[in-house]
Amino acid sequence: MNPKTSPLMIYMNGRLVPKEEAVVSVFDHGFLYGDGVFEGIRAYNGRVFRLQEHMDRLYRSARAIILDIKMSPEDLIQKVLETLRANQLRDAYVRLVVSRGTGDLGLDPRKCPEPTIIIIADKIALYPEECYSVGLDVVTVSTRRNSSQALSPNIKALNYLNNILAKIEANLVGVREAIMLNLEGFVAECTGDNIFYIKGDRLITPPTTAGALDGITRNCVMELAPSLGLKAEEKLFTPYDLYTAEESFLTGTAAEVIPVIRIDSRTIGSGKPGAKTQKLIRAFRDLTQKEGVPI
């Protein structure tokens, strides 16, 4: 099978089907209401990075919304690996989606007897390579992060309208990413990434109680920090703390670790990717080449 000409194969509810046949019902509550959960997962050099952590978070999210996946985590891990093998991918982005499934036009999840399980394995390049060497220009937007008292940020849900509205604001001013504040005015996260800043030997990121997702890459960077002489901590902070930081960067499964060099027209540090950020980028990339579940 030639990977350049073979159709992309998608896992859907127990079988692999060509991309063109991977369709869901218009009555699926994931489509109608964004009722479901998902994970974005990366494979590097023939290994799936932090697969168990992603699977654990998926099942926590599902339990939080009383969504029965009806498959064990171990079996679902095997389906992820099978999908990667079917597409002959060693370096890939995997989108694992579990929706409430097909029901009626009402909200009641009890009308959806079976979840819809989808696994997509493909390539992704969220940011062009020059963004990693030059850095990102980001802005703080007016769209506030959903209150963690209304919807836990620990639930990685299919409904991303809050983030999309912030992304639209970023698009309108011509930048790639936007910082979202919570209702109290503290920094929560970006539209698709967690945010960090560095001052001295302190590496600081918002706590999940501020509205930040408990990101897998976020946690990985915090684990790497001590080996690079940095003290990682979760702390509430405002845009002022970012403006006066020595360095700043974003993290995410698709984004990995990407420097930020300007926020709301304020130059961060020297206006170039900081030395400590670059060390974290190298340390993270080294780790992705060594750690993971073999495909």
Instruction: State the catalytic residues.
Output: 156
- What is the Cα–Cα distance from 295 to 293, expressed in whole angstroms? 6
Give one word for 6, left, alpha or beta, with left for phi > 0 and alpha for psi -120 to 50: beta
- Candidates 217, 191, 16; CA nearest to 118 is 16
Cβ within 8 Å of residue 283, ≥6 positions away? 224, 227, 228
CA distances, 7 to each of 43, 82, 96 (Å): 19, 15, 19
Strands (E), the chain: 9-12, 15-18, 36-44, 47-48, 92-99, 116-122, 136-140, 177-181, 187-190, 194-199, 202-205, 231-234, 247-252, 256-263, 266-267, 293-294
C-alpha of 136 from chain center: 18
C-alpha span between 218 and 251 (Å, rounded): 6
User: Is residue 115 a contact partner of residue 154, using CB atoms and an 8 Å limit?
Assistant: no
Is the separation of the CB atoms in 17 and 82 below 8 Å? no
